[in-house]
Each structure stands twice: as structure tokens, then as C-alpha cells.
Amino acid sequence: MTPFFQRRLLGLGLVALAALACWGLDVSLDLHLRPAAAVSGTSLLVLVLFLTLFNARKKLPFLPLLPAAVWMQIHLYAGCFSLILFAVHVGFRLPGGRLETALAVLFVAVTVSGILGLAISRWLPARIRVHGENLMFERIPALRAALRKEVEELVLGSLPATDSSTIADFYEQKLRGYFEEPRHLGNHVLGYGKPLHGILSEIKSLDRYLNAEERKIMAEIEERVRLKDNLDFQFATQGMLKLWLFVHIPLTYALLILAVLHALVAWRVV
């Protein structure tokens, strides 16, 4: 058993024990006619607030509060536990009121987005590492502009050099849009290579109409097509790694606001 697996097993085991204890406490309180929902609800609110602190921790790196990696692990396991605590709190049934329904929908949305984010953050980086040159996300627009400029120089240079507009025409029809902006982002995320294959096929089909000089230039352009493909891949995958937080974090704050309102109303009648 690898250390990684051991750690995961230990973590999940602790979560399972905590969930069992939580469920047992809820059942006990309910059996003894105590306000079980108030206890589980208060615990859940505190837990969600704690989960939110992870975002604050990342913004305060200078504080000696355990490494962010450790916080991440705690965040993940606490998030799993919060899902179980939520199910216990609602009594394993659909909520009744509108506020409670909205709260449940938000909670599920935050949880699902978190789980998807976790999956993305485990799946995509491995693909990024092996796809091609790893590029910094913030520099990709500049690199795209530079690449486009290189290709255009090659295309423009081919006119006098080959006394033919074949390459220029092909660039204008097939490649100009490709180099201007990010393309095929969805395919890159899902790992489909068909678009690149399509472009390369078209380049290959043009080959019979080129002379030796044109072929040399076309080979340069083809290399840059591959570079652009990697650029788009990097942009899509790294963007996805950042964009999922655009769902997870705003929904979390909406969840917190509704949760506080729900807590105030519920405490009023406990």
C-alpha cells in the first residue's frame, strides 16, 4: 500500500468515523426529544464557515497557519464530512420550505462544484505535464500574439520567395482565424485531438501543390500550428483549473448568506 493510499484511507476512515458519530448523536438527540436539527444545523454552519476560511488562508500566506497544502487536505475531508452532516441535518429527505430548498440547492451546487473542481485539479495537471511545453497562463495572450506575428511574417515572406500565393491563400482561408484567437477549447479539455488532426490533414493535402521552397515554409508554419495547438491546450486546461472557482466561490458566499438567515430564523423558534 503506497503512502498516498494510506493517507487517503486514513483520512476517509476518520471522515467515516466522524460521520457515524454525528449520525449517532443526531439519532440520540431525536430519540430523547432534543432539538437534534438545531445541533446538527449549528455544527454545519460552523463547518461551512471553517471551509470558507481556506480562501482567506490563501490570501494570507505570511501567517504561520500550516501550509496551504495541509489546509487543502483538511478542506477536502471537511467538505466530505459536511455533505454527510447536511444529509443528517435534513433528515435524509427533501426540504419543505422555499428558503430551505434554495439553501439545499446551493449546498449541493457548491458541493458538486467542489467535487468537480477536485476531479479537474487531479486530472488536468497530469495531462498538462505531458502534452507539451508548460506555459504560464498569464503569458499565453502575449505568446499567442508573438506566434501569430511569426506566422504572418512567414506567410508574407513566402510571396516574394516563391512567387506564389498558394501559402498566403491557404493561410487566409484556413489558418488566419486559427492563429487569431483561442480555438477548440472544449476539445482540448476533453482530450479530443480531432481539430489539430483536421488542420494537419489539410496542410498535408496541400503538399502536392507546393514546390520545394514552399514546402520548407509550410513546414515552418506547420510547426507553429502545433505550437498554437499546445498554446490553446494550455489555455483551455489551465483556464478550466481557474474557472471552476468562478462557480464554487460565489456560490459559497450566496450559501453563507442564506445559511445565516436560515440559522437566525431557526434559532428563533428553538
The phi and psi torsions of 99 (rounded to 5 degrees) equal: -60, -45
Residue from 149, 157, 173, 177 that binds another protein (CB under 8 A)? 149
Closest alpha carbon to 178 in 163, 206, 207, 200: 200
226 touching another protein, by CB under 8 A: yes
Shortest approach of another protein to residue 39 CB, angstroms?
Answer: 9
Residue from 153, 172, 180, 223 that binds another protein (CB under 8 A)? 223
Sequence-separated (6 or more) residues with CB below 8 Å from residue 132: 226, 230, 233, 234
145 touching another protein, by CB under 8 A: yes
**Residue nearer to another protein on the CB measure, 16 or 136:** 136
Residue from 24, 67, 157, 198 that binds another protein (CB under 8 A)? 24
DSSP-H helix ranges across the chain: 3-31, 36-59, 68-89, 98-131, 140-162, 166-170, 176-180, 185-190, 194-206, 212-243, 245-269
Residue from 51, 221, 251, 259 that binds another protein (CB under 8 A)? 251
| 28, amino acid identity | S
Shortest approach of another protein to residue 84 CB, angstroms?
Answer: 17
Within 10 angstroms of residue 16's Cβ, the number of other Cβ atoms is: 13
Angle between helices 36-59 and 3-31 (to 10 degrees): 150
Site for another protein in 86-105 (CB under 8 A): 95-100
186 touching another protein, by CB under 8 A: no
Q: Distance (Å, rounded) from C-alpha 189 to C-alpha 235?
A: 10
**Residue nearer to another protein on the CB measure, 55 or 187:** 55
Each residue 32-61 as x (binds another protein by CB under 8 A) or -, in order, gives xxxx--------------------------
The stretch among 40-48, 117-125, 198-206, 219-227 that binds another protein (CB under 8 A) is 219-227
250 touching another protein, by CB under 8 A: yes
| 40, amino acid identity | S
Site for another protein in 125-144 (CB under 8 A): 132-133, 135-139, 141-144
| 45, amino acid identity | L
- The grid coordinates of residue 235 equal 489555455
Q: Distance (Å, rounded) from C-alpha 80 to C-alpha 98?
A: 25
Each residue 228-247 as x (binds another protein by CB under 8 A) or -, in order, gives --------------x--xx-
Closest alpha carbon to 197 in 172, 225, 169, 231: 225
**Residue nearer to another protein on the CB measure, 32 or 122:** 32
Residue numbers at the binding site for another protein (CB under 8 A)? 24-25, 27-35, 95-100, 132-133, 135-139, 141-147, 149, 223, 226-227, 242, 245-246, 249-251, 253-254, 257-258, 261, 264-270
